[in-house]
Amino acid sequence: MGIRPAVAADHAQVARICLLTGRQGSDATGVFCDDTALADVYATPYLHGPGGFCLVWDVEGEARGYVLGTSDTEAFQRWFVETWWPERVADHQPVTVDDGWLLPSAADPERMLGPQLGEFPAHLHIDLLPDQQGRGVGRMLIEAAAGLLMRRGVAGVHLVAEVANRGAQAFYPRVGFVAVGRTADVVTWARGWGAGSELRSEHSLT
């Protein structure tokens, strides 16, 4: 077992991992309009889009987790809205779920853009199947992604995690992220590296 770059053969398993962890860390099967919608927004585009990367946690030849994202959020967002999503939108109709949680509007041209991009232009997502959690794999994946982004010359990375996902909210401070923004539903976490990369959490989050 170990970390390796994703290959084309990992596409279906990456989508599956996204689905099985897509509801605040638990199984999202049957929650959305179809079981491919979540991955088409939050996982598989990173195997294709500008600046995209995907590192998988391989166990006996099968991906059991991943960290994926892009080193250039702004360019990736343009590509997603102009190219990726228009080719898939007909397959995914807007829906709500019983608890009121909504699949965000993937067509929103501002969805991935925010004030954090100046300092932290990359963003990432990380997911592990339940049987791989609690083993230090998440930390290893984060460090591998940080190394990849540093080699690309990127100054820092951010991510967005739902407030309801308590596991995620506890995890990110342990791997060097600091909260830099918050709404009622999500917290934006960021991590830089090198000289001058120290961050301060928003006062309201301390």
∠ Cα 188 74 57 (to 5°): 65
Question: Which amino acid appears at position 7 of this protein?
Answer: V
pLDDT digits over 158-188, tens only? 999 999 899 999 999 999 999 999 999 999 9
User: Which among 197, 185, 126, 127 is positioned nearest to 155, based on CA atoms?
Assistant: 197
Per-residue pLDDT band at 198 (split at 50, 70, 90): very low
- Is the pLDDT at 2 greater than 60? The verdict is yes
At a CB cut-off of 8 Å and minimum separation 6, what does 33 contact? 92, 93, 94, 95, 103
Predicted pLDDT at 98? 45
pLDDT of residue 92: 67
Give the amino acid at 51: G
pTM (2 decimals)?
0.87
CATH 3.40.630.30 is the classification of domain 2-155: yes
Q: What φ, ψ does residue 189 adopt, rounded to 5°?
A: -110, 145
Mean pLDDT of the chain: 87
From residue 92, how far is each of 35, 85, 103, 107 by CA, in Å?
10, 10, 10, 11
- Domain locations in the chain? 2-155
Q: CA separation (Å) from 65 to 20, 102, 127? A: 11, 24, 6
Judge whether 145 and 177 are in contact, CB under 8 Å: no
Per-residue pLDDT averaged across 88-93, rounded? 71
Q: What average pLDDT does this structure show over 181-203?
A: 72
Give the pLDDT confidence of 120-162 residue by residue, as tens digits.
999 999 999 999 998 999 999 999 999 999 999 999 999 999 9
